[in-house]
A and B are shown apart, each in its own frame.
Chain A
Amino acid sequence: MFGLFKKQKEEETNPEWYTELQESQERWFTFLEKLEAKMEEFANAAIPELKEILQTDDDLYKRTFHKVYSGVNGQLSNIREKARDTYEEKILNVYYDYNSQISVLSKHHNVVSDFRNRCSDRHNDFEDKYDYWRNQIETTKQRDLEIEYQKILDEYETIKDKFHCTQCGAGILIEKIFLIETYITCQYCQTQNTFAPSTLSRNLQNIARDLAEQRTAHLYQEFETESGKEHALYLQRHELSLSKIHQSDKKVLSEIQSKMDDLDEQRKFAVKNAPKLRQIYLRAMYDEWNKITPDLKEHNEKMYQNQITQ
Chain B
Amino acid sequence: MEEKKVNSFLDKLKQRAQNQTNYGGEFETNEAQLNTRDCPNCGAGRAKKDGITNCAYCGFEFLTVKLTDGVYIKKEDNSI
Listed in ascending order, the chain A residues whose CB lies under 8 Å from chain B are: 41-42, 45-46, 49, 53, 59-61, 63-64, 67-68, 71-72, 75, 155, 159, 163-167, 172, 174, 178-180, 182-185, 189-201, 295-296
Whether the pair A64, B18 counts as a contact (CB closer than 8 A) is: yes
* Pairs A-B, 3 closest by C-beta atoms: A67-B17, A167-B45, A182-B72
Q: Are A180 and B71 in contact (CB under 8 A)?
A: yes
Q: What is the chain A residue whose CB lies nearest that of B35?
A: A194
- Residue numbers in B under 8 Å from A164 (CB-CB): 34
Residue in chain B with minimal CB distance to A68? B17
Determine how close the nearest CB of chain B comes to the CB of A16; give it in whole angstroms: 38
Interfacial chain B residues near A155, Cβ < 8 Å? 32
**Contact flag A199-B47 (CB < 8 Å), given A46-B10, A194-B36, A194-B37:** no
Contact A67 B31 (CB under 8 A): no
Q: Within 8 Å CB of B35, what residues of A?
A: 166, 193-194, 196
State A72–B14 Cα separation when bound (angstroms).
10
How many angstroms from the CA of A190 to the CA of B34 in the assembled complex? 15
- Contact (Cβ within 8 A) B36 A193: yes
Within 8 A of A (CB), among B24-55: 27-37, 45-49, 52
A-B contact pairs, 11 of them (CB 8 A): A41-B2, A41-B3, A46-B10, A71-B16, A163-B32, A167-B36, A189-B45, A194-B35, A196-B30, A196-B32, A199-B30
> Closest A-chain residue to B23, C-beta based?
A63
Give 9 A-B pairs besides A180-B72, A182-B72, A295-B72 with Cβ atoms closer than 8 angstroms: A41-B6, A46-B10, A75-B9, A159-B32, A183-B73, A190-B56, A191-B46, A196-B35, A199-B28
Interface contact A193-B34, CB-CB below 8 Å: yes
Q: Is B65 an interface residue (CB 8 A)?
A: no
CB distance from A190 to the nearest CB of B (A): 5
| Min CB–CB distance A1 → chain B (angstroms) | 63
Q: Given A45-B7, A49-B10, A53-B14, verify A198-B48 contact (CB < 8 Å).
A: no
User: Which of A64, A192, A201, A295 has the most chain B CB within a 10 Å cutoff?
Assistant: A192
**Cα separation A159 to B22 with both chains bound (whole Å):** 31
Q: How far is the CA of A271 from the CA of B23 in the complex (A)?
A: 47
Give the distance in Å from the alpha carbon of A60 to the alpha carbon of B28 in the complex.
Answer: 10
Q: How far is the CA of A185 from the CA of B72 in the complex (A)?
A: 12
- Closest A residue, CB atoms, query B70: A180
Question: A292: shortest Cβ distance to chain B, in Å?
Answer: 15
CB distance from A148 to the nearest CB of B (A): 14
B20 within 8 A of A: yes
**With the chains together, A52 CA to B72 CA distance in Å?**
39
Q: B48–A178 contact, CB under 8 A?
A: no
CA distance A163 to B32 in the complex (A): 10
B52 cross-chain contacts in A, Cβ below 8 A: 183, 192
Which of chain B's residues have a CB closer than 8 A to the CB of A42? 6, 9
| A195 touching B33, Cβ below 8 Å | yes
Question: When chains A and B are docked, how far (Å) is the Cα of A54 from the Cα of B45?
Answer: 46
Residue in A60, A68, A71, A166 whose CB lies within 8 Å of B34: A166
**Cα–Cα, bound, A192→B55 (Å):** 11
B74 to chain A, nearest CB (A): 11
CB neighbours of B6 from chain A (8 A): 41-42, 45
